[in-house]
Structure 1
């Protein structure tokens, strides 16, 4: 299924895209690094499962991703710029009462947004563990190597699969490097801001962002859903959408 993007301008004039599916209560879903709303949520049927349960699923393409612009100047990448973009999108759409979720980078951005004062009623964190929120520096260095080894990596190198995904998604390397520099850590004590019900949904073989059970234990009102797959494959599973629907409709 192909859904045409809609566009708005962020506060700095950068044109950003989003897609929608369904009608009902708004749910904002943020995709993972180097992916897009279409690939993360639409391609494998996750958005359709949630929309069928009575939700308006809103899927932005984060800055530099998908159909959104990818400016090269550093000035367009201040700390937590993706949180600012989320604030601008909710303002553009006039959303006040909504749920929020994301996968991997989308989960990190969702947490940063709540820490910054965005107040969704419910929160969904996919492909995320406690270390993935507090320990960005190590993970960030890996993605810096992905960009640096873009033309030289060989099959079997630890960066190979991420580079192939970047190439498939036509990610701009200069913009991606600037965006990586905009990410900030969320120390465990900052998680006190997450007072709403939270679903942590993670692949059984996904340890890319640390321990999902540790993240659940650090939150005031969280539950864990374990689905099949690794970090890369769990987003393709029907169980992802089923877990999200079960959480939202409980």
Structure 2
């Protein structure tokens, strides 16, 4: 992976050229909590799907994740700072404007990016996150405690156990994840969401009990639409074909606009 500095923080990224006729706007993908560029985007074939559709595709590891620098102060994980990381990566690559897709925590970061740097965002895909962008600060605060627990065996709460198991499977730095969970918890007010002007697709699995309903969030956005991923929960929606098809159609629609 290549590396660059974002406000002094070392971040790892990959930049994939399209393998079909280039359709113009690149897309940057922002992964979820305790994940990384590979688990969220490479293994579920998102990069292959997008590059074969003619999209230059940029993936990176969020601060505290994967091969990027680990930080242990929750204040270093505000969603505004993490949104700036994505914007800074575009600047580093000389990209003026891109489509942005985030999943779960990555969608929260993407929404903050669309607010903080609207000129850099052509289209926005918020996946694995619905109205909880507004009515929740993020995943339950107890997830941070799960990262701090001495072992998985010490946990009894099902959601805590699920995220601790996932974090261990991705060989994550648990102390950095605990700081990240505490720092990223930030609800975006309705009044702020209503100012996001980028065309936005909100995608949530029909069985997702983590994200919140996509329809109310889509209605708050100036130019939002919702897509329910049939039969999928929060984890199994990531690589779903119907989700991919909806995103490709959304991107094609953006490209067809004058």
TM-score by length of 2: 0.87
Distance 1:136 1:124 in 2: 19
- Which position in structure 2 is the counterpart of 1:8? 4
- Which position in structure 2 is the counterpart of 1:206? 208
Measured after TM superposition, the shift of residue 155 of structure 1 is: 7.0
Q: Which moved more, 1:198-207 or 1:112-121?
A: 112-121
* Residues 164-209 of structure 1: CA deviation (Å, up to 9, x unaligned): 1000112212212222232222111101221121111111111312
Distance 2:77 2:252 in 1: 37
TM-score by length of 1: 0.89
Is residue 214–residue 227 contact of structure 2 (8 Å, CA) maintained in 1? no
Distance 2:149 2:63 in 1: 22
Measured after TM superposition, the shift of residue 73 of structure 1 is: 4.9
| 1:239 pairs with one of 239, 242, 246 | 242
Is residue 31–residue 103 contact of structure 1 (8 Å, CA) maintained in 2? yes
Distance 1:220 1:247 in 2: 16
- Which position in structure 2 is the counterpart of 1:17? 12
Is residue 202–residue 226 contact of structure 1 (8 Å, CA) maintained in 2? yes
Measured after TM superposition, the shift of residue 90 of structure 1 is: 1.5
Is residue 203–residue 231 contact of structure 1 (8 Å, CA) maintained in 2? yes
* Residues 138-171 of structure 1: CA deviation (Å, up to 9, x unaligned): x341322322335144577331121110001122
Give structure 2 stretches of 5+ with no counterpart: 254-258
After TM superposition, the structure 1 = structure 2 runs for residues 100-119 of structure 1, keeping only pairs within 5 Å, are 100-119=100-119
Residues 1:227 and 2:224 aligned together? no
Give structure 1 stretches of 5+ with no counterpart: none
Measured after TM superposition, the shift of residue 75 of structure 1 is: 6.5
Cα RMSD, aligned residues only: 2.0
Is residue 3–residue 10 contact of structure 2 (8 Å, CA) maintained in 1? yes
